[in-house]
Amino acid sequence: MCGLLFFALLLNANYVQFLNAGKYRDSQYNPRRLIEEYDRERGEILVAGTPVAKSKPTGGKYNYQRVYPQGPKYAPITGYYAITGSARGIENVENSILNGTDDSLFASRIVDLFSGKPARGGSVLLTIDPKAQDAAWKALRGKEGAIVALDPQTGAVLAMASSPSYDPNDLASHNPGDVQKAYNKLIKDPDKPMLNRALQETYPPGSTFKVVTAAAALASGKFSTGSRLYAAPTLDLPKTNKSLPNEYHRACPDGGGDGRTGFEKALEVSCNTAFGSVGLELGEGVLRQYAERFGFNSDPKLLGSAESVFPRDLDEPFLAYSAIGQYDVRATPLQMAMVAAGIANGGKVMKPYLVQEVRGPDLSTLSRTKPKVLSEAVPPEIAATVAGWMVNVVENGTGRKARIPGVQVAGKTGTAQQGKNDLPLAWFISFAPAQNPKVAVAVVIENGSSDRSEIGGGSLAAPLAKQVMEAVLDQ
């Protein structure tokens, strides 16, 4: 029996010290890990070569202090790293690189050991365009909402801003009590400053979803560019006495004398009855299929992003509302930027990414992200047709305030109902230049205005998208 007990102790010692060593070493409750990490210079998070998160020497008990030079502007991206062991954003996702424990840094650790140099973490270079990020941050000042800008050809995130935001420096204190106090205050704030609205909040996308419906209609083969669509003031819905109305209960311009309208005009004036009727004819399966090709109902796997949803098992009345981005359709600003980028990129939706390069302490490149096609949402000729219709929205329709002199812009406005007593959301998705797109943008503003004509005309969201697009194009 004693022999068996000694054997059990031997097994347990091996289990703790070898098999489970990593778990205990990396535990947030291990004070030695924290002391070791703060004795080592944590790597930088870089934007165009400039640190947006870095460590500075302190000379105190903990040798280094984490600092965020531009605080709230980059907080939704960088996140924070706290002495309590909690972390968010890039600080969390790339923690093993930044703290120097990643397997890819093994050779660097050996060199430092034999050379006597202090151990250091690696650095992470982001895809963010600092001009675009600055424009997005300034555009959102005083508003609640988010902006995402993507490179349509690669999926690289050029800007990601969420407002209101928070200062991660408040969570970088070496005093655990101060960190917990600051964290509790932020969590209890009703404005939710720690919520990354660009990735982690889903909204009804409203009329911006009509871009998906239009693309699905053409790709399905049930409609063509010359199809004439229902344009009456209201659309009677099957299986109910309810109806789907146009804004102000007006008929959409027919342009052909037959009381109907074409796709281009329907998108230009954002005709609800036209797209509601298209949704009913396409059916739930077809509409969901193309929504999923643009990225709905899947996790983009970017900093804990939420999944955008196109619902299943829809009754026909709800299908009509879903075709115009209402009912249970929910989308993040990232998702709607992916829709715009997919149309801009000839129908190919690229996987979004934030990390351009991972570098060792000696600045050598350890890895570089390669662009990856997520899906081919629609054929190139259909994407080109829808892009032309979106250009018309900006030049002649509801998106006029996104015009950029000398640059052809494609876009789509959106107004989305949130509830009976809530103010509607203001949306705008766009890309530019229309013929050779360099940037795709999605903007959402919460609780915009009770003046629906103001929102429908793109007065709130379109000018913000314009500022970001100009920042990217003015290189």
Q: Of 108, 165, 173, 207, which is the active-site residue? A: 207
Residue for token pair 């050598």? 364
Write out the E strands in 289-362: 348-350, 355-359
86-89 long-range contacts, Cβ below 8 Å, gap at least 24? 86/28, 86/183, 88/194, 89/196, 89/303
**pTM given for the model:** 0.91
Enumerate the β-bridge partners of residue 156.
Answer: 353
Give CA–CA dist 415/208, Å, rounded.
Answer: 8
- What is the 8-class DSSP label of residue 16? I
Q: What is the phi/psi pair of residue 311, to 5°?
A: -70, 160
- Active site includes 322? no
Write out the chain's pLDDT in tens, 475 residues. 999 999 989 988 888 787 777 676 666 556 666 667 777 899 999 999 999 999 999 887 788 999 999 999 999 999 999 998 889 999 999 999 999 989 888 887 777 667 667 778 999 999 999 999 999 999 999 999 999 999 999 999 999 999 999 999 999 999 999 999 999 999 999 999 999 999 999 999 999 999 999 999 999 999 999 999 999 999 999 988 889 999 878 899 876 667 799 999 999 999 999 999 999 999 999 999 999 999 999 999 999 999 999 999 888 889 999 999 999 999 999 999 999 999 999 999 999 999 999 999 988 999 999 999 999 999 999 999 999 999 999 999 999 999 999 999 999 999 988 755 578 899 999 999 999 999 999 999 997 655 555 444 378 999 999 999 999 998 5
